[in-house]
C-alpha cells in the first residue's frame, strides 16, 4: 500500500511534526500554494507527499516559525526551492553530499522491497535519511556545508553559506560574497499579494556579454542587492538545509518512538 511506504508522508503527520495547525496544508492547497501531492486529496483520502514536497513544506514552516505569516511563507518557500532546484537539481538538504559516508547502507536499502519505488532515485532524501540513520552516521543540528536563505528588508533574497570560509564570486561583478543575490520579493505589505522571482529574470537580453549596456544594467540590479545587504534595515535568516532535515528528524522520531 502506498500509504504504508516509508518515503511518503501524510499531510497530518507533516503538520504535527512541524507544529502547523491542523489542515494548514489543505488551506494552502486551496490557494494553490501547497506542493503537489503524490496521491490523495479526494473526499476521505488524505494527501501524501514525497521528499520534495516535504522539503518545500519544511522550508515554509521554517519561515513561519521565523515570523513570516503562513501564506507569504508558502510563496517564499516555493520560490526558494525552485531556485535551489535550478542550481543543484534537488532540495538542498545536504544528505546527498554526506551520503558518501554511508553509501553501503544506501545501496542496501535500494535493494530492499520497501524502498523499491525510490530505488532508481539515489538522491531521494527519504532514502538517504533512512540510510544515514541505519548506518548510525546521522548528526542532528547544522552542518558546515548547509545552504541558507537570507531576506533583507523584506525585498532582497540571498542564498549561500554565511559560515563558509571562502565566498563565491558573483556572475556579474565578480564580487566575492558568502551570500549571493537570488530572489526579489514584491508586495510584502499588509494585505499585499506577496510574490518572488529570480533576479536574472529582470536582466535584459545579452546581459552575459561584458561591455554591453545589457551587462551594465544587470550589474546595476546586482549592486542594488549588495547595497541593501551591506546596510540592511532588517534581515531574516533561515538555514534551509537544516529546516529540511529537521522535518525528517521529527517524522523519524515520531515513527520510531
Query: In the chain, what are the domain boundaries?
Result: 2-256
Alpha-carbon span 195 to 180, nearest angstrom: 19
Q: What is the pLDDT of residues 44-55, one digit of tens each?
A: 678 999 999 999
Nearest-CA neighbor of 133 among 180, 164, 101, 176? 101
Note the pLDDT of residue 244: 97
pTM for the complete prediction? 0.92
| Angle (CA) 133 2 14, round 5° | 60
> What's the grid cell of residue 103?
553509501
Distance of CA 236 to the CA centre of its chain: 15
Note the pLDDT of residue 120: 63
Note the pLDDT of residue 3: 46
- Name residue 237's beta-bridge partners: 150
Alpha-carbon span 51 to 128, nearest angstrom: 10
Nearest-CA neighbor of 158 among 61, 83, 70, 64? 83
Q: How far from 161 is each of 150, 170, 175, 221, 238, CA to CA, in Å? A: 10, 14, 15, 21, 11
Backbone angles phi, psi at 160, to 5 degrees: 150, -155
Tens-digit pLDDT string for the chain (257 aa): 344 588 999 999 999 999 999 889 999 999 999 999 988 766 667 899 999 999 999 999 999 999 999 999 999 999 999 988 888 888 999 999 999 999 999 989 988 888 887 766 666 899 999 999 999 999 999 999 899 999 999 999 999 998 877 677 777 888 888 999 999 999 887 666 888 999 999 999 999 899 999 999 999 999 999 999 999 999 999 999 999 999 999 999 999 97
Q: What is the pLDDT of residues 129-152, one digit of tens each?
A: 999 999 999 999 999 989 999 999
Nearest-CA neighbor of 7 among 129, 101, 100? 129
Amino acid at each position: 500500500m502506498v500509504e504504508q511506504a516509508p518515503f511518503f508522508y501524510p499531510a497530518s503527520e507533516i503538520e504535527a511534526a512541524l507544529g502547523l495547525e491542523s489542515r494548514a496544508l489543505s488551506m494552502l492547497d486551496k490557494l494553490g500554494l501547497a506542493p503537489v501531492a503524490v496521491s490523495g486529496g479526494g473526499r476521505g483520502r488524505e494527501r501524501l507527499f514525497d521528499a520534495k514536497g516535504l522539503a518545500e513544506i519544511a522550508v515554509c514552516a521554517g519561515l513561519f516559525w521565523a515570523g513570516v505569516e503562513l501564506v507569504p511563507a508558502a510563496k517564499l518557500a516555493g520560490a526558494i526551492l525552485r531556485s535551489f532546484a535550478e542550481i543543484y537539481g534537488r532540495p538542498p538538504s545536504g544528505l546527498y553530499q554526506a551520503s558518501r559516508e554511508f553509501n553501503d547502507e544506501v545501496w542496501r536499502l535500494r535493494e530492499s522491497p520497501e524502498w523499491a519505488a525510490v530505488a532508481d532515485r539515489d538522491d531521494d532524501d527519504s532514502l538517504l535519511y533512512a540510510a544515514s540513520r541505519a548506518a548510525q552516521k546521522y548528526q542532528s543540528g547544522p552542518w558546515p556545508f548547509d545552504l541558507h536563505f537570507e531576506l533583507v528588508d523584506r525585498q532582497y533574497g540571498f542564498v549561500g553559506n554565511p559560515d563558509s570560509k571562502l565566498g563565491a564570486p558573483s556572475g556579474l561583478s565578480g564580487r566575492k560574497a558568502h551570500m549571493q543575490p537570488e530572489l526579489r520579493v514584491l508586495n510584502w505589505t499588509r494585505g499585499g499579494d506577496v510574490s518572488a522571482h529570480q533576479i536574472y529574470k529582470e536582466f535584459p537580453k545579452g546581459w552575459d556579454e561584458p561591455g554591453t549596456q545589457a551587462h551594465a544594467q544587470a550589474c546595476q540590479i546586482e549592486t542594488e542587492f549588495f547595497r541593501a545587504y551591506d546596510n540592511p534595515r532588517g534581515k531574516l535568516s533561515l538555514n534551509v538545509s537544516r529546516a529540511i532535515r529537521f522535518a525528517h528528524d521529527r517524522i523519524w522520531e515520531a515513527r520510531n518512538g
